[in-house]
Structure 1
Amino acid sequence: MFATWCLLIGSLLVTMGLSHTLLKRLPVSAAALYLAAGYVLGPHMLGFIQLDIVRDAQLIERLTEVAVLVSLFAVGLRLRVHLDDPLWRAPVLLASVAMLLTIACITALGFWLDGLSLGAAVLMGAMLAPTDPVLASEVQVEQVGDRDRLRFSLTGEGGLNDGAAFPFVMLGLGWLGLHDMGERAWRWWAVDVLWAVGAGLTLGWFMGVGFARAVAWLRRERMQALGMESFLSLGLIALAYGVALKLRAYGFLSVFAAGLAMRHVEHVANPRRPMDVLDAEPQKQHYIAPAALEFALNLEKLVELTVMLIVGSLLSADEFGWHSVPVAAALLLVARPLAVWLSTSRLGWTPMQRALAAWFGVRGVGSLYYLAYAVSHGALTQDTPVVIDAVLVTIALSVLLHGSSATPAMRLYQRRRRREA
């Protein structure tokens, strides 16, 4: 069995590396192909992957947890823009107002249409609200310092709302009796919302700034070519996440802020130099952000493969029923477009930018993580199968629909931008 797994994993990785350029030309995304491969390898066909979302909830939670951390760190490193730049207004609105509207819509749908309890409906809304920072590569910033409003907003939104959805997951668990919210929900407001969000962002920011400045000082003043940027990056991710968890803050926001802070330190010191390419000599490259980003992007590809294989193996034809498909359709075609259209009404975006932002709310890694997190923390009621089916079907449909439309839609957008310029 071990030899079979070695052959399988080796074949997938080699194929992924050799076909990277070819995959960009296909009408479907790489994630869709990995999803199909996961289904073929799953229990309904070849049976190599035998996972169950209830039985293996803790394993899936840990795998997707690592996937989210790597992707959020990479997103933070991509965004080389000052925090006081007006560009930040859109992703903040999308990750707050639009996310709240989306959760409200899905909660109402689950409560009234599917007959879920209020706690289960809120959980489903919180699971499906975050957009994915991994699978939306076609609509993210193309290079560090990209100031396109649409790409920057979707990238920043994916980095922020994976952590910003956590309070509502805790709210759903609280209403199911699985989390202490305190009398009149005071503990939820004080700890799960104000403290955990604020402390997570603040802690990650100062750790990222301190780390980046320490590396730059050692290389510039002490002339030490530290090297091993990949280990330094992994160390910062682990430290930011671990310290945040110890302080009961949200580690996802902490890791995102740490990556953002590392890029900010470099940007302040070199405001006109994109520094996307590593210098030939490590001694001349004082800042670690470019090398850390290169390492994180490589890990992202492995993350994408792993998570899509898991989702594909969990899928079955029985899950595409009247409980799950309407939820997915309502999210992708009604809740997301409505939430984006309302939250971006005063941003001065073009109709095309608003339409593309409304459509490209890709669901993926974060949704699967929150699903596994809730199940592993005891959210096992009569409503659980409905929530599981809705989340898995939504991820699958989002990957297929958004993946097949991303390349032509963004090409049309780029041509329109060039004509307007």
Structure 2
Amino acid sequence: MTPLWFAIIGSLLVLMSLIGFAVTRWPVSPSMIYLFIGLILGPMGFGILEVDAVRDAEWLLVAFEITVLISLFSVGLKLRMPFSDRLWRLPLKLASLSMFFTIGCLVLLSHWLLNYSWPLAVLFGAIMAPTDPVLASDVQVREPGDKDRLRFAVTAEGGMNDGTAFPFVFLGLGLLGLHELGPDLSHWLARDVVWGIGGGLLVGAACGVGIGRLILWYRARREEPVGLEEFLSLGLIGLSYGLACMLHTLGFLAVLAAGIAMRRLESQGRQPLREQADVLDSESPQVAAPGHMLESVLTFNERFERIAEVGAVLLLGGLMSNGYFTMHGVIVAAVLMFVVRPASVFLVTPGSRTTMRQRWLISWFGVRGVGSLYYLMFAIHIGLRTPQAEALLPIVLTVVAASITLHGMSATPLMSLYARRHR
């Protein structure tokens, strides 16, 4: 990294620290600012940020991968509700039935409108179907235990479908000859769907529960129950993701499950610690250790997530500055946001105990972002041919940029209005 880049990134971070509070009240999201700066730093502007999606796919993949992993762990730590709670029913439907519906619609749209082959259309549908937990922070749960149905549904959906879309990415790659599917899709169903999803959740839950219990057991016997949460956060992300990938399961789901499992230990760990404490005070350090520890981990993770978001969206701006913008992408973005997404949400919301206002807001806040960029770089990295990559790039980048812009402009006023009326 050159001294110029140190100065640019340092200036951007200082700028955001100065205007960050004001941005929360404007119809502008921080991601919109990062995107604009990336555009003017790229070839379209000063030519400082030169990044090529095909040439630099390997390190772009790592950059987007780290950003998604940090965000997924944060999402898991925010989801405090037990699985027996009815709140989980809607996001589970959104991450499965709604996503399947969205993939099908995008396959048909890209085949007919963009003249993609059926295999490439399947890959495109899988890349664009999942909603994003990274760029939807304004709509996510504000604190662990938030029972608002809108916030909980958007948060949990963004965490889950970033993992459940992966088998369909493998399906598209397999149809293109880049992944083994087996006879009659048998390998894909057994390895990528059943074992990939189930194994990923098991690995992540085991890591979260095991490490969480070990840390609580150790810190309950110390005078200072909290410390070095950044090591715990990054360590658990790396451990759960690494083990899941080594076992050929879905690492994204493992990281999400690890965060959820650790958060569930808060309520499970308080009572035994309270019974062991010499003074039966709910605020004693030993008894309060689980909550304090997890809140510290979440605080660190959210701050790290914001920094990773800066880099990811700057890179998106740099890619867009290469001329990857097309009116076909605008059409796809409009159909996805105004037709497909609402239809997919209203398909599963009957009986969900959500108000009509909540359903419309859930249907609007289907943010597309860094998860889609990761899947695209993953496909390019493992061997997607350059003509196919060049066909996907302008559409995917245009849709993500349109989502950042429209959702960024609307998030603050819509959520402020929702909060006033809901209250």
The alignment's TM-score, normalised by the length of structure 2, stands at: 0.94
1:285 aligns with 2:305: no
Q: Which SS does the other structure have where 1:67 is aligned?
A: helix
| Structure 2 contact 69–252 (Cα < 8 Å) conserved | yes
Residue 383 of structure 2 corresponds to which residue in structure 1?
A: 378
Residue 128 of structure 2 corresponds to which residue in structure 1?
A: 128
- CA distance in structure 2 between the partners assigned to 1:286 and 1:143 by the alignment: 16
Gaps of 5+ in 1: 272-278
- CA distance in structure 2 between the partners assigned to 1:113 and 1:365 by the alignment: 24
The one-letter amino acid of 1:410's match is M
- CA distance in structure 1 between the partners assigned to 2:326 and 2:133 by the alignment: 28
| CA displacement at 1:348 relative to structure 2 | 2.6
Q: Which moved more, 1:366-375 or 1:220-229?
A: 220-229
The one-letter amino acid of 2:243's match is V
The one-letter amino acid of 2:203's match is L
Q: 1:375 and 1:317, CA in 2 relative to 1: closer, same or farther beyond 3 A?
A: closer
- CA distance in structure 2 between the partners assigned to 1:257 and 1:416 by the alignment: 33
1:19 aligns with 2:25: no
1:87 aligns with 2:106: no
Name segments (4+ residues, structure 1) moved above 4 Å. 222-226, 279-284
- Choose which of 346, 355, 363 in structure 2 pairs with 1:350: 355
- CA distance in structure 2 between the partners assigned to 1:196 and 1:127 by the alignment: 17
1:35 aligns with 2:35: yes
| Structure 2 contact 72–252 (Cα < 8 Å) conserved | yes
Residue 364 of structure 2 corresponds to which residue in structure 1?
A: 359
1:329-348 pair list within 5 angstroms: 329-348=334-353
Residue 56 of structure 1 corresponds to which residue in structure 2?
A: 56
The alignment's TM-score, normalised by the length of structure 1, stands at: 0.94
Q: Which SS does the other structure have where 1:130 is aligned?
A: coil
1:299 aligns with 2:285: no
| CA displacement at 1:65 relative to structure 2 | 0.4
Residue 188 of structure 1 corresponds to which residue in structure 2?
A: 188
| Structure 1 contact 139–154 (Cα < 8 Å) conserved | yes
- CA distance in structure 2 between the partners assigned to 1:249 and 1:341 by the alignment: 31
Aligned-residue identity in percent: 48
Residue 248 of structure 1 corresponds to which residue in structure 2?
A: 248
The one-letter amino acid of 1:211's match is I
- CA distance in structure 1 between the partners assigned to 2:113 and 2:92 by the alignment: 31
- CA distance in structure 2 between the partners assigned to 1:292 and 1:255 by the alignment: 14
The one-letter amino acid of 1:344's match is T
1:396 aligns with 2:401: yes
Residue 214 of structure 2 corresponds to which residue in structure 1?
A: 214
The one-letter amino acid of 2:112's match is W
Q: Which SS does the other structure have where 1:140 is aligned?
A: coil
| CA displacement at 1:376 relative to structure 2 | 0.7
Gaps of 5+ in 2: 272-282
The one-letter amino acid of 1:66's match is I
The one-letter amino acid of 1:208's match is G
- CA distance in structure 1 between the partners assigned to 2:290 and 2:340 by the alignment: 45
| CA displacement at 1:19 relative to structure 2 | 1.9
| Structure 2 contact 326–395 (Cα < 8 Å) conserved | no
| Structure 1 contact 224–283 (Cα < 8 Å) conserved | no
Q: Which SS does the other structure have where 2:51 is aligned?
A: coil
| CA displacement at 1:74 relative to structure 2 | 0.3
CA deviation profile, 1:72-93 (whole Å, cap 9, x unmatched): 0000001111111110001111
| Structure 1 contact 219–283 (Cα < 8 Å) conserved | no
Q: Which SS does the other structure have where 2:195 is aligned?
A: helix
Residue 373 of structure 2 corresponds to which residue in structure 1?
A: 368
The total of aligned residue pairs comes to 411
The one-letter amino acid of 1:319's match is Y
- CA distance in structure 2 between the partners assigned to 1:313 and 1:20 by the alignment: 23
1:87-236 pair list within 5 angstroms: 87-221=87-221, 223=223, 225=225, 227-236=227-236
- CA distance in structure 2 between the partners assigned to 1:244 and 1:282 by the alignment: 32
Residue 405 of structure 1 corresponds to which residue in structure 2?
A: 410
- CA distance in structure 2 between the partners assigned to 1:137 and 1:322 by the alignment: 28
Q: 1:185 and 1:392, CA in 2 relative to 1: closer, same or farther beyond 3 A?
A: same
| CA displacement at 1:226 relative to structure 2 | 6.3
| Structure 1 contact 120–384 (Cα < 8 Å) conserved | no
CA deviation profile, 1:264-323 (whole Å, cap 9, x unmatched): 00023349xxxxxxx896995245311110110001111211111011111148433243
The one-letter amino acid of 2:81's match is V
- CA distance in structure 2 between the partners assigned to 1:282 and 1:40 by the alignment: 52
| CA displacement at 1:48 relative to structure 2 | 1.6
| Structure 1 contact 340–358 (Cα < 8 Å) conserved | yes
- Alpha-carbon RMSD across the aligned residues, in angstroms, is 1.8
- CA distance in structure 2 between the partners assigned to 1:30 and 1:250 by the alignment: 30
The one-letter amino acid of 2:240's match is A
Residue 419 of structure 2 corresponds to which residue in structure 1?
A: 414
- CA distance in structure 2 between the partners assigned to 1:321 and 1:159 by the alignment: 29
- CA distance in structure 1 between the partners assigned to 2:363 and 2:270 by the alignment: 34
